[in-house]
């Protein structure tokens, strides 16, 4: 195993090597087509290093953690805490006790909505959201608003799908207690002005929660610059295992919150009528957490850091630029969202007279995997005034040839619909 705190050394970005790191990319699909995996916004593929790490845990040190009873338990605990330290370093948190392992972004946000929101929000307080948020960053706040009497407010969007900064003054006020915002829209790709929102939230004494599900895998994140109070993200979109995610919370907030789930591991003392809570991070990690998955997430972070966000950004921008140039030149195609400079590597679009689900089916025949539907953003689709969109979302292992395969497959779909 790696020595726990080894910092991965940077290696040159070589596409052939990178693609070989992801065994699934070379496997023909059941219909024999070559895979062009353009659904990274839903989940990313896993490099061999992550697959090996999870397997290694089960083969060599599987045991429960933090029991301190035997050698295997000790060893796996060291590995788990090393993974937590990797997460800490990756997002530049001050203390690894501020890194809570959860099952993913959804659970992380629910944890804050319940354990922070229900304790600290009261009637008249405002939660500031916007229409581009994923349901995971809307519905928990709706429930918390109902339970506490707090009010939901929505920042309007500009016509190209950015937060409209001309409304910040009007909507971020002394009544605002929380700004909950995505780092990157999972549909429009919009990257949001977190620095400005964090500064404004803090000016009025509000807390900012960033949904990093889409941004953390593609952009460098530093929770201390700008200062972010809560950050949620998922391991599986970060080239790590499913079932593991992270909630980062600033210590002062996590300390003030009561536990979200109760059971083993999160207590200090239990009596028949009452209990006291354990220290961070255990207080928020009731029960047995996904241990091998958390350690696998550590391996995924090592992998991403060995490539570096500069190389990742360069490759993804190349792909996005090509898609945003070629898609609008394709007959019947409309793309949604801001210009290249204001978005990450996601592009959603519709093809006139072809339902996105039919389009996704036809693209799949050609091996091009995209997502179709409302992408868990029904309010955004109401705002866009379309019931569904098709979405291509890129990762650094995608190639320009795969963008071309997408375009070719759209022509194929239009041909099938007798549109060309």
Contacts to ligand 7TS by CB under 6 A:
41-42, 104-106, 134, 136-137, 182, 186, 211, 213-214, 234, 371, 375-376
Beta bridge mates, 346: 393
Could you tell me the two tokens for 219? 């952009």
- Residues 208, 365 contacting (CB under 8 angstroms): no
Which of 34, 219, 376, 419 is flagged as catalytic?
Answer: 376
Query: 341 CB contacts (<8 Å, ≥6 apart)?
Result: none
Which residue number, 102 or 282, has a Cβ lying nearer to ligand 7TS? 102
Which residue number, 104 or 337, has a Cβ lying nearer to ligand 7TS? 104
C-alpha 394/C-alpha 396 separation (Å) is 7
CB of 90 to ligand 7TS, least distance (A): 17
CB of 342 to ligand 7TS, least distance (A): 16
Which residue number, 135 or 202, has a Cβ lying nearer to ligand 7TS? 135
Which residue number, 46 or 134, has a Cβ lying nearer to ligand 7TS? 134
Is 61 a catalytic site residue?
A: no
Task: Quickly list DSSP for 335-374.
Answer: EES--GGGB-SEEEEEETTB-HHHHHHHHHHTTEE-EEE-
CB of 70 to ligand 7TS, least distance (A): 33
Which residue number, 193 or 308, has a Cβ lying nearer to ligand 7TS? 193
CB of 415 to ligand 7TS, least distance (A): 28
CA R_g for the chain? 22
CB of 270 to ligand 7TS, least distance (A): 30
Which residue number, 50 or 76, has a Cβ lying nearer to ligand 7TS? 50
Residue 94, CB-side half-sphere exposure with 13 Å CA sphere: 9
- Residues 83, 295 contacting (CB under 8 angstroms): yes
Alpha carbon of 60 to those of 54, 73, 241, 295, 297: distances in Å? 10, 11, 18, 13, 17
Alpha-carbon torsion, ordered 309, 40, 367, 397, to 10 deg: 10
- Residues 326, 201 contacting (CB under 8 angstroms): no
C-alpha 261/C-alpha 254 separation (Å) is 14
Tokens 């190349």 correspond to what residue? 318
Which residue number, 137 or 399, has a Cβ lying nearer to ligand 7TS? 137
C-alpha 323/C-alpha 379 separation (Å) is 25
CB of 103 to ligand 7TS, least distance (A): 7
Q: Angle, to 10 degrees, between the axis of helix 309-326 and the axis of helix 291-307?
A: 80
Q: Using CB atoms within 10 A of its CB, is residue 149 exposed (0-12), middle (13-18) or buried (19+)?
A: exposed
CB of 174 to ligand 7TS, least distance (A): 28
Looking at the annotation, which residues are catalytic? 376
């Amino acid at each position: 195993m790696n020595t726990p705190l080894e910092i991965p050394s940077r290696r040159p970005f070589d596409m052939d090597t990178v693609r070989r790191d992801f065994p699934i990319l070379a496997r023909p699909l059941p219909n024999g087509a070559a895979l062009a995996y353009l659904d990274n916004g839903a989940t990313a593929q896993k490099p061999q290093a992550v697959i090996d790490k999870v397997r290694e845990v089960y083969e060599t040190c599987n045991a429960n953690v933090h029991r301190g009873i035997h050698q295997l338990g000790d060893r796996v605990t060291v590995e788990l805490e090393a993974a937590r330290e990797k997460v800490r370093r990756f997002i530049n948190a001050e203390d690894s006790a501020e890194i809570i392992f959860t099952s993913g972004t959804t659970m992380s946000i629910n944890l804050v909505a319940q354990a922070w929101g229900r304790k600290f929000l009261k009637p008249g307080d405002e939660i500031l959201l916007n229409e581009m948020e994923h349901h995971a960053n809307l519905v928990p706040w709706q429930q918390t608003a109902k339970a506490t009497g707090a009010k939901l407010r929505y920042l309007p969007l500009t016509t190209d799908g950015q937060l409209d900064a001309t409304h910040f003054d009007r909507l971020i006020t002394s009544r605002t207690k929380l700004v909950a915002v995505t780092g990157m829209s999972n549909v429009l790709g919009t990257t949001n002005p977190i620095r400005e929102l964090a500064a404004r939230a803090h000016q009025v004494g509000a807390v900012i929660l960033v949904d990093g599900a889409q941004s953390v895998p593609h952009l460098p994140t530093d929770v201390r610059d700008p200062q972010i109070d809560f950050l949620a993200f998922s391991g599986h979109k970060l080239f790590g295992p499913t079932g593991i995610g992270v909630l980062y919370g600033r210590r002062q907030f996590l300390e003030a919150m009561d536990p979200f789930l109760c059971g083993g591991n999160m207590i200090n003392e239990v009596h028949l009528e009452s209990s006291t809570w354990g220290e961070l991070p255990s207080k928020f990690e009731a029960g047995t957490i996904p241990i091998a998955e958390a350690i696998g997430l550590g391996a995924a972070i090592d992998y991403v850091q060995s490539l570096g966000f500069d190389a990742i950004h360069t490759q993804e921008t190349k792909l996005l630029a090509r898609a945003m140039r070629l898609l609008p030149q394709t007959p019947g195609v409309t793309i949604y969202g801001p210009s290249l400079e204001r978005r990450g590597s996601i592009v959603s679009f519709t093809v006139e007279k072809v339902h996105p689900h039919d389009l996704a089916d036809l693209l799949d025949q050609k091996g091009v995997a995209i997502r179709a539907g409302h992408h868990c953003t029904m309010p955004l689709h109401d705002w866009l005034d379309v019931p569904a969109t098709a979405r291509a979302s890129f990762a650094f292992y995608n190639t320009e040839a795969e963008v071309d395969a997408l375009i070719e497959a759209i022509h194929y779909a239009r041909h099938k619909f007798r549109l060309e």
